[in-house]
Amino acid sequence: MGTPDLQILAAVHAQAFDHGWSAAEIASLLETPGTFVVAEPEGFILARALAGEAEIITLAVAPAARRRGMARRLVEAAAVRAMALQAEALFLEVADDNVAALGLYRGLGFEVVGRRRGYYARGNGEPAVDALVMRLALNS
């Protein structure tokens, strides 16, 4: 994909999250310095590299395209891009109950470096879920 079509990114995001982001919201994030997107058909990663550190803002793969290594490729591509922007570590926050994402990040070498208690509100009266903060060193 060349210049990403924000409407397509929003459609993928809506398939991956309960509260999808609109094209306008994604456009607004992309205006923040250091923010970039890596996209494939049916998947994308939005990340930011600033002042020596990078973070994954969101990562989404459409359900029909999962378990084919796309997310792994997207995270690796974002890490390469972040290194080119002088970042020395890549951070992210992930829900403690997100089995797929935790498997992905652990497999790529991310380590848990923190926990934010009750970070993700859940509907239907369910208790809020902790966020794990994970980090990958980019100089290795």
Ligand X SMILES: CC(C)(COP(=O)(O)OP(=O)(O)OC[C@H]1O[C@@H](n2cnc3c(N)ncnc32)[C@H](O)[C@@H]1OP(=O)(O)O)[C@@H](O)C(=O)NCCC(=O)NCCS
- Is residue 19 a contact point for ligand X (CB under 6 A)? no
CB nearer to ligand X: pick between 10 and 86: 10
Per-residue binder mask for ligand X (CB under 6 A), 90-119, x = binder: --x-x---xxxx-xx--x------------
CB of 93 to ligand X, least distance (A): 7
- Is residue 129 a contact point for ligand X (CB under 6 A)? no
β partners of residue 46: 37, 58
For residue 24, count other CB atoms closer than 10 A to its CB: 10
- Restricted to residues 42-61, the positions that interact with ligand X (CB under 6 A) are 59-61
Which residues contact ligand X (rule: CB under 6 A)? 16-17, 59-61, 66-72, 92, 94, 98-101, 103-104, 107
